[in-house]
Amino acid sequence: MRLYFIYIVLFFFIANHSFAENKLVMITDERCIYCIMWEKQIGKIYHKTDIAENFPLHRIEIKDEKNIYLQAKVTPTFIFLEDSNEKGRITGYSYPEMFWWQVDEIIEQ
């Protein structure tokens, strides 16, 4: 049920945007320490990268204060969409080098 909620939110987010474009969807929570780390280490420079030109960042903020379990299990999650199809997914964040390595793996597919 908890994961179902995420899929509903993601569906409505995607439905409000063009299906023909590429994007990187970030599922985030303002109280998530790993989301905060990502924002400080990657988020402030992501828009300047070549990857951002092909996969612009779109954030989905989860604001369900009662569901701490859900927040801890899915944030941050990064979903790469290419022409409305999921190209790849990164669940969680640890440090910049690992993130960029995972991004490269997804982009090169």
pLDDT tens-place string over residues 51-80? 999 999 999 888 755 555 454 467 899 999
**Distance separating alpha carbons of residues 53 and 23, to the nearest angstrom:** 9
For residue 30, give the 3-state DSSP assignment: coil
Average predicted confidence (pLDDT) for the chain:
83
Q: Residue 91 and residue 7: Cα distance in Å, rounded? A: 14
Q: What is the pLDDT of residue 68?
A: 52
Residue 98 reports pLDDT greater than 70: yes
- Comparing 11 with 92, the larger pLDDT belongs to 92
